[in-house]
Amino acid sequence: MNSDRKKIKLWVESWKRSAVELEKEKRNKLRLYDYSKNQVFIDKMLQWACENKKTRLSTGLVEQQRFFMKIRGNYLLNRNASAFPAACGGVSEQIKNR
């Protein structure tokens, strides 16, 4: 298991280093992009976005909080760590000890 932890740590570190280089490359491409050459294409994309926009009546925060309360409610009903999705960060010690 220790070997797996080392491999994961190396993987994370390599991505941290790569992220810096990828960000530099992205900025360079944006800086060097020939906007005048692609003006017609850019205008068409912006026009499409304007024509196909959807009016939002909220920011989504209420829906997000409703989702979190549903997850919390499922956890409290079951009092089981597996009821709290790992994608939501798992169960914190504070929730476990309630």
Q: pLDDT digits over 22-66, tens only?
A: 999 999 999 999 999 999 999 999 999 999 998 888 888 999 999
Gap between the Cα atoms of 40 and 42, Å rounded: 6
Gap between the Cα atoms of 95 and 72, Å rounded: 9
Q: What pLDDT score was predicted for residue 79?
A: 66
Helices (H), the chain: 2-32, 39-51, 61-78, 93-96
Gap between the Cα atoms of 7 and 14, Å rounded: 11
Better-scored residue on pLDDT, 75 or 5? 5
Q: What pLDDT score was predicted for residue 11?
A: 94
User: Can you give the residue ranges of every domain in the chain?
Assistant: 1-52, 59-98
Q: What pLDDT score was predicted for residue 78?
A: 72
Residue 94 scores a pLDDT above 50: no
